Amino acid sequence: MDTKMMQPADLAAQIGKEVGVSSWYMLDQAKIDEFADCTDDRQWIHVDPARAAKESPIGGTIAHGFLTLALVAPTTFEVLMTKLTVKQAVNYGLEKVRFIAPVRAGKRVRNHIKITALEDRGRGRFLLTTEHTFEIEGEEKPALVALSLAMLMT
């Protein structure tokens, strides 16, 4: 994707294309524990390394699926939103989310972003649909694949 600033309508030419890949994000035990505290989701598979090492088929703790999903916003901002000329961009929802593979504590993930649709909603509003595939460093399967919608306002 071009590095110059773009208008939302310019994204129409990018439909079906990967527009960028985010930086790597470390999902270590500290980050997992912070997310557990924030969401009150303290299931042992996430926050008890000793128990997870003994009882989990994965052999250790894993990041919450929703922790990885929460990275859609900052990674989209990094890869795409900083290149768009908009007054505001708001989360409009999710169409589909699939958690494909667990992210072991201490692994890094990054987001591959593809434009899948752009709808002109009139009055300077565009509904953007993007596909997010979170790669797990060194692993074949992605952590998740999600379709996300954002309303762009010019």
Determine the pLDDT at residue 4. 79
**Structural domain total, the chain:** 1
Question: Does residue 73 lie in a domain region?
Answer: yes
Question: Does residue 80 lie in a domain region?
Answer: yes
Residue 152 neighbours by CB under 8 Å, 6+ apart: 8, 84, 86, 88, 89, 125, 126, 127, 128
Asked whether the predicted pLDDT for residue 2 surpasses 60, the reply is: no
Residue 77's closest CA among 125, 130, 142? 130
Residue 102's closest CA among 72, 133, 138, 65? 65
Tens-digit pLDDT profile for residues 46-73: 999 999 999 999 999 999 999 999 999 9
Determine the pLDDT at residue 59. 96
Determine the pLDDT at residue 1. 60
Question: Does residue 128 lie in a domain region?
Answer: yes
CA–CA dist 31, 118 (Å, integer): 34
Range of the domain at 22: 8-27+63-153
CA–CA dist 148, 91 (Å, integer): 8
- Find out whether 18 and 132 touch, Cβ atoms under 8 Å: no
Q: Is the pTM of this model over 0.75?
A: yes
Determine the pLDDT at residue 119. 97
Which phi and psi (to 5°) does residue 93 adopt? Answer: 130, -170
Question: Does residue 51 lie in a domain region?
Answer: no
Question: Does residue 68 lie in a domain region?
Answer: yes
Tens-digit pLDDT profile for residues 92-138: 999 999 999 999 999 999 999 999 999 999 999 999 999 999 999 99
Question: Does residue 48 lie in a domain region?
Answer: no
First CA to last CA across the chain, in angstroms? 20
Question: Does residue 41 lie in a domain region?
Answer: no
CATH of the domain at 16: 3.10.129.10
Pairing label, strands 25-27, 107-122: antiparallel
Question: Does residue 58 lie in a domain region?
Answer: no
Average pLDDT, stretch 7-11? 92
Residue 46 neighbours by CB under 8 Å, 6+ apart: 32, 35, 36, 61, 62, 63, 64
